[in-house]
């Protein structure tokens, strides 16, 4: 998976050098976290937050060549929970592959993670089994998919609060024109100029991409209609 700024990623703490923390990003090499991005406020003991081999969830701040700058403090509790749920689900998928493929499993997994995460590959395989079949053969592919489809998937909810201000007399009508629900994205009124938008899915990255696209469209419409628009992470 190719990383982009703003992505939420699972990491394993590798080492701590003075006020810098170095981590291994699942499937994407190494990244670093400076002290101010560990937690808000004064940090008395860095090891209260990070220790070697600990799994942590981070946000990608900047990508400069091979240097990936991350933040621990900018990840919401919801984002952390969702990524850890994905990790738990991926471990379950790994056990399924081991039970079906036996000694062949390591070779197959290496081929998969060369291009994408195991979690993403098997999530997509439920709708597009051809890729899995080409790797493991028709018989084993069918066995794997039967087990995966029987598993209950926990839906992940991504949620944001959005705000509008406008000096136009028909501000409410303007906001109604800007906001338009889709089958996947739900909009709830909270207070004057304040709304909640959310999307539920089994696949966090696809949901995040759809939500970003939706917010970009809202921002463009707001500018055209002389309304100020802002987003708050939930």
Residues 162 and 141 in one domain: no
pTM of the model: 0.58
Within 13 Å and on the Cβ side, how many CA atoms surround 131? 16
Residue 3 lies in a domain: no
Distance CA 194, CA 234 (A): 13
Residues 114 and 167 in one domain: no
Residue 202 confidence class, pLDDT cut points 50, 70, 90: low
Q: How many independent structural domains does the chain possess?
A: 3
3-state SS class at 45: coil
Residues 83 and 35 in one domain: no
Cβ-contact 34, 16 below 8 angstroms: no
Convert the pLDDT of each residue in 103-118 to its tens digit: 999 999 988 888 888 8
Average pLDDT of the chain, as a whole number: 86
DSSP state at residue 78: H
Convert the pLDDT of each residue in 84-100 to its tens digit: 988 888 888 999 999 99
Q: Which residues of 81-110 are buried (b: 16+ CB within 10 A; e: fewer)?
A: ebbebbeebbeebeebbeebbeeebeebbe
Residues 143 and 82 in one domain: yes
Residues 66 and 97 in one domain: no
pLDDT of residue 175: 81
Residues 17 and 63 in one domain: yes
Q: Which of 134, 150, 166 is the last residue of a domain?
A: 150
Q: Which of 98, 131, 150 is the last residue of a domain?
A: 150
pLDDT of residue 203: 66
Residues 166 and 191 in one domain: yes
Residue 2 lies in a domain: no
Residues 170 and 144 in one domain: no
pLDDT of residue 1: 61
Residue 227 lies in a domain: yes
**Enclosing domain of residue 50:** 8-75
CATH classification of the domain holding 53: 2.40.50.140
Residues 128 and 191 in one domain: no
Residues 91 and 143 in one domain: yes
């Amino acid at each position: 998976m190719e990383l982009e700024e703003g992505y939420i990623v699972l990491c394993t703490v590798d080492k701590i050098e003075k006020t810098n923390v170095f981590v291994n990003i699942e499937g994407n090499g190494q990244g670093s976290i400076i002290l101010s991005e560990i937690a808000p406020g004064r940090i008395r003991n860095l090891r209260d937050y990070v220790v070697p081999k600990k799994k942590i969830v981070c946000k990608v701040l900047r990508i400069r060549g091979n240097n990936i700058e991350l933040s621990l403090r900018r990840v919401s509790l919801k984002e952390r929970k969702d990524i850890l749920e994905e990790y738990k689900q991926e471990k379950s998928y790994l056990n399924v592959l081991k039970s079906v493929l036996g000694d062949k499993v390591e070779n197959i997994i290496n081929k998969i993670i060369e291009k994408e995460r195991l979690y993403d590959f098997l999530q997509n395989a439920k709708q597009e089994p051809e890729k899995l079949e080409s790797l493991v053969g028709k018989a084993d592919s069918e066995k794997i998919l039967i087990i995966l489809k029987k598993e209950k998937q926990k839906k992940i909810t991504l949620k944001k609060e959005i705000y509008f201000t406008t000096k136009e007399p028909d501000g409410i009508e303007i906001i109604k024109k800007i906001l338009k629900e889709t089958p996947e994205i739900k909009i709830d009124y909270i207070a004057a100029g304040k709304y909640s938008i959310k999307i539920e899915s089994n696949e966090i990255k696809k949901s995040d991409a759809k939500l970003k696209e939706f917010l970009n469209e809202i921002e463009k419409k707001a500018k055209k209609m002389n309304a100020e628009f802002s987003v708050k992470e939930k």
